[in-house]
Chain A
């Protein structure tokens, strides 16, 4: 079990992918065009993933992936986020960070709308610059931000 922190600078996505690769869990990969693939992760690249499916190996570009779903939580987020070192006040407003931090802290369920029209209601566990880690029932989803159009409570 790997521990994920709700720190924005901590890369959630590589951790999720490597945890999935190590455990050999069968992932469900949704694409932007609503196609889905099921299989185990074979290789992890910077911009693509090799997925072992029944028919063989599929190379998927990350930019075409909207979400990766694991049947059980691969990463566990700590219940409390340590706010040990107070970050210096940013010169630019960071609305996204404020919103997501609040949602994690208060354990609010969020409704996430994807660009392709898909909607999901789930609790947010962690996030990084490019992805959100969501928990819905027993499953854990990794959503790429490039696939998200809106978020609300």
Chain B
């Protein structure tokens, strides 16, 4: 546990000093929001229809920006080699990186969230805790696979393009489940109407956190 915290803290500290990922993700998210608004000129009814999807498309797109940086910074100065030489189980390195990515992504998401309220006039804050829970669950699954794929993508040509190509098709279930949950929550539906989606989200998270942490060692070993 201590090793996980150390790696996690190292990543957060680097991010706090540079703020590179956070700033780029936040600005990019804002930009997507503005572009969508121009592209669709949404009426109130349309806004209601597209908000859940737009929210997640924004999160996934800006999330890829942050995940791309996650292992790219380790490659500079061969930092990853140093980490691998340390007598630490590879699975723990995965959880450290996963935790850091998760926190950074969540912060970026919650910075963007108020602008959905502002620009789209959506009642996101009436159900704040429910929506927070769904965002947390969706982001966990996305980052679980994303951290693994990020470690892979950094080591091949065209890494910035490779990550979304790998990540987006695999995360389709998260996108569908998270969008469906948010839509039902905004519409004020009871939990039972989207319970199956909720379980799918939890299931995805469990499966891919476990599987990713198990296969991570093969990705980083030399």
Q: Do A and B come from one complex?
A: no
